[in-house]
Structure 1
Amino acid sequence: MKFKTERELLEYTANIKGKTFKEIDSKNLLDSASLRKQKGLLGHVVETGFYKYPRNSDSKADFEELDIELKVTGYVKNKNGSVRAKERLVLSKINYNEIITETFESSHVLGKCKKMLIIWYEYDSTKEAKDFLITDFQLYDMTDDFEIFNNDFEIIKRKVLDGRAHELSEGDTSYLGACTKARTSSDRTPQPFSEILSKPRAYSLKNAYMTGILRELTEKPTTTITSKQEFKTVIEYVKSKLQPYFGKTQLEILEEITGRQYSEKIPKNISKMISDELIGKDSELAKKNELFAKTSFIIKNLPIKEDGKPRERMSFKTISLSDFETDWEESYWKNYFEETTLIVVCYNEKNRSKNGYRILSDVKQITFDENDLESFEKTYNQIKIAIEKQDINLLPTSANGFKNQLLEIAPKGIKGDDAYVNFFKRNKTKVAFMISKKLLVEKLKI
């Protein structure tokens, strides 16, 4: 089936809304294949059953006559009624030898995926894939966010040029990810400027970005986002807000921006109060700048001792037992650590200065590479085994972990609550992942 114009394609595509995959599976592809083993299976069903195209692995766009690529992807409904993309959208493989001579404009990924027809279906873990409902579609143009994509492309290219393709992380970039693309976890491929083998990777639209464009399609904007492309990364935005206050103490900053005196009683959460005032509260950031609506990030405040070491570990949200029902490769936490960028606001201690008198010194970025993730996987699997055996002694705490452990767990919340004894009693635990101080020192390079 050929289409002469975009309008003709979209008018025809409107007929797919409200259908399940079994209704359009004319080749019976879902009867003999596993969705887990064949990641692009639902795309093949739409391609062959709805558009009547033969299956192929051609490097050209699916709707070649219109230079439009077809993509089929899922979303999940949250308990509050909002929606989020189920996963990142993989675009095309990164060729480490070719990227070093490409620009984003001349790249294979833009050539093939500049315009994409995205078919959205609702993912439901209680249903078989054939019963997933196709609910919407959109014609998406990558050049709508060209400046940020171009910056992301150059970040990926720079690591390859520096012989550091093995250190690539999805957290390095804002929208365009460099996700792992391998048949097994041990797969490696050469890179041009280093003898160190790197994991095969592919360009992708990151999960948070997919959620952003999905919500643009399904939700009416309530706030006009300003300075749409003034900043290309979250860290640029954060630094711009904090730069005027570098060299000042927490107390000096808070009193300056609030006009109030706090010297008699310094708030315990003074660093968070400063971040909320200057950068914005977590719930407000998506409305302040589009980057926050389409990226996965966490802003953390960290006290740094005089010897350059962090005073404390860095914690994340509490874990749930249900987080560990899947293998690591399919888990929420693998995707979380792959895509999330940590923006760390550093406060230096001087003469053992206490909270309130620490000096705002820098803003740094932390992302996790393949070596970090391999260690994180061991922690994840140890928790999974502990849950299966109902044995708290197997939990990977700092005192009960493994050699060179980078991610551990620790209680988070009310003091005196025995978080480990109660660990298996409810799905939502009072235990959280913590990055070890050793890893923080390495990442922050203070």
Structure 2
Amino acid sequence: MKFQNETELLEYTSNIKGKTFKEIDSKNLLDNSSLTTRKGLLGQVVETGFYNYPLNNDSRADFEELGIELKVTGYVKNKNGSLRAKERLSLSMINFNEIVNETFESSHVLGKCKKMLIIWYEYNSKKEAKDFLITDYQLYDMTKDFEILNNDFEIIKAKVLEGKAHELSEGDTSYLGACTKSNTSANRTTQPFSDILPKPRAYSLKNAYMTGILREHINPTTLFDFKPKQTEFKTVMEYVENKLKPYFGKTQAEIYEEITNTKIEGNMPKNIGKMISDRIIGKDGELPEKNELFRKTSYFIKNISLNKNGTPKERLSFRNLRHDEFNVTWDESEWKQFFEEQTFIIICYKIESDEKNGYRKLHSVKKISFTGEELDLFEKTFNQIKVAINKKDNTLLPVSSNGFKDYELQLAPKGDKGANAYETFFESNVTKTCFMINKKLIKEKLEN
């Protein structure tokens, strides 16, 4: 089916709203395959059953005459009613031996990053794929994001040029990710400037980016009732560094007094680092107003103190864990996606001798991300918690006292000391525990 212009395409596409996949599956593709064994199956159903295109592996844009790529992807509804993309959107494989001679403009990925016609369906784990409801569609012009996408491409390319394709992580970039793309973790490919065989990777539009696109479309006027301030920043790291630049070398107390014009009376607040970053950088809920980058990026900003030798004073901790997060495999889990895609920005205060909290100096800002090999190590911890939950045995939890002190990702109490976090682990869905990354790994990542 050929379309003369965008208007004709969109008018035809409007008829897909309200349909399930079984209603348009004229080739009966869903009868003989599943989403787990055949990636892109729902896209093929839409291509063949709705647009009447033959099945093909053509690398050109789906609506070539219009320069538009068709994408079919799902969203899920959060408990608070908000919507988020179910997953990242895979584009095309990265050829590590070719990317070193490419520019963003000449790369194959650009053909997938001009205009996208996105067909949105609501994902429901309790339903079969054929019963997923197609609720909306949108034509998204990605040219407005090209500056950041180009910067992401150059970050990926730079790592390959350094012979570090095996160290690539989706957390390296803002919108355009380099996601692992293989059936097993043992799959490997080649890279031009190293003998180390990296995992195959594909260009992808990260989950947070797709969520931002979705939310802008669903509620364009009330979701953000302000106009985001545009700046020159292409990464969260650039933004944070720029904001903190005037305060390097100053103590926490000096910075706080300077930005608030008040002196700290009484005891020094334990969370003075966060109080400072919330003021200078902005709280999470405020950041989308400060820069559009934060509307489509996954980021995690943390303040830590470093001893003289660069070792973190404490492990890097995250939110409380829930039992229901372990009802899925690691590959399907929110935690794998979190550690894969998140941009981790670490604000470092230095302890020169034995300075107490409040008198440590702002030393540096570091960005860290996790390699495929490190994610494999994290998977061991995730799976060990699944074992403990299935057997309802807290002696199997991956904590230091149970013999898991060398794990890179550890289970630890969250909250007040002595809260019996492990003894009460099975009492409710939300536990008194959290994931923590050990000091040794964080030191290595900061020194990289």
TM-score range, shorter chain: over 0.9
Distance 1:374 1:401, change over 3 A: farther
Q: Shift in Å at residue 403 of structure 1?
A: 7.6
1:201-350 matches, cutoff 5 A: 201-219=201-219, 220=221, 221-350=223-352
Contact kept, 8 Å, 2:413 with 2:433, in 1: the verdict is yes
Single out whichever of 349-358 and 135-144 deviates more from structure 2.
Answer: 135-144
1:281-430 matches, cutoff 5 A: 281-402=283-404, 404-430=406-432
How many correspondences in the alignment? Answer: 446
SS at match of 1:52: coil
Tell me the equivalent position of 2:164.
164
Q: Distance in 1 between matches of 2:213 and 2:118?
A: 10
Q: Percent identity?
A: 68
* Residue identity matched to 1:31: D
Distance 1:102 1:229, change over 3 A: farther
Tell me the equivalent position of 1:71.
71
1:75-114 matches, cutoff 5 A: 75-114=75-114
Tell me the equivalent position of 2:36.
36
Q: Distance in 1 between matches of 2:112 and 2:421?
A: 51
* Residue identity matched to 2:393: D
Q: Shift in Å at residue 263 of structure 1?
A: 4.9
SS at match of 2:328: coil
Contact kept, 8 Å, 1:238 with 1:279, in 2: the verdict is yes
Contact kept, 8 Å, 2:399 with 2:405, in 1: the verdict is no
Tell me the equivalent position of 1:132.
132
* Residue identity matched to 1:319: L
Q: Distance in 2 between matches of 1:4 and 1:218?
A: 27
Q: Shift in Å at residue 431 of structure 1?
A: 0.6
Contact kept, 8 Å, 1:61 with 1:113, in 2: the verdict is no
- Structure 1: gaps of 5 or more residues: none
SS at match of 1:136: strand
Q: Distance in 2 between matches of 1:230 and 1:316?
A: 30
Contact kept, 8 Å, 1:148 with 1:229, in 2: the verdict is no
SS at match of 1:230: coil
Tell me the equivalent position of 1:26.
26
* Residue identity matched to 2:270: K
Alpha-carbon displacement from aligned partner over 1:290-313 (angstroms, at most 9, x marks no partner) = 111111111100011122211000
Single out whichever of 201-210 and 391-400 deviates more from structure 2.
Answer: 391-400
* Residue identity matched to 2:118: I
* Residue identity matched to 1:369: T
Q: Shift in Å at residue 109 of structure 1?
A: 0.6
SS at match of 2:400: coil
Single out whichever of 87-96 and 21-30 deviates more from structure 2.
Answer: 21-30
Q: Distance in 2 between matches of 1:307 and 1:159?
A: 27
Q: Shift in Å at residue 264 of structure 1?
A: 3.5
Q: Shift in Å at residue 98 of structure 1?
A: 1.3
Contact kept, 8 Å, 2:149 with 2:176, in 1: the verdict is yes
Q: Distance in 1 between matches of 2:288 and 2:186?
A: 37
Q: Distance in 1 between matches of 2:261 and 2:2?
A: 66
Q: Distance in 1 between matches of 2:432 and 2:385?
A: 14
The TM-score, its normalising length taken from structure 1, stands at: 0.97
RMSD: 1.3
Tell me the equivalent position of 2:173.
173
1:59 maps onto 2:59 in alignment: yes
Alpha-carbon displacement from aligned partner over 1:146-167 (angstroms, at most 9, x marks no partner) = 1100100000000111110000
Q: Shift in Å at residue 371 of structure 1?
A: 1.5
* Residue identity matched to 1:333: W
SS at match of 2:135: strand
Tell me the equivalent position of 1:155.
155
Moved over 2 A (4+): 220-229, 398-404
SS at match of 1:409: strand
1:4-19 matches, cutoff 5 A: 4-19=4-19
Q: Shift in Å at residue 141 of structure 1?
A: 2.4
Q: Shift in Å at residue 404 of structure 1?
A: 4.4
The TM-score, its normalising length taken from structure 2, stands at: 0.97
Q: Shift in Å at residue 354 of structure 1?
A: 0.1
SS at match of 1:224: coil
SS at match of 1:84: strand
Tell me the equivalent position of 1:191.
191
Q: Distance in 2 between matches of 1:334 and 1:442?
A: 20
* Residue identity matched to 2:120: W
Q: Distance in 2 between matches of 1:174 and 1:399?
A: 38
SS at match of 2:402: coil
Alpha-carbon displacement from aligned partner over 1:330-376 (angstroms, at most 9, x marks no partner) = 11111110001111110111220000100011110110001110100
Contact kept, 8 Å, 2:228 with 2:288, in 1: the verdict is no
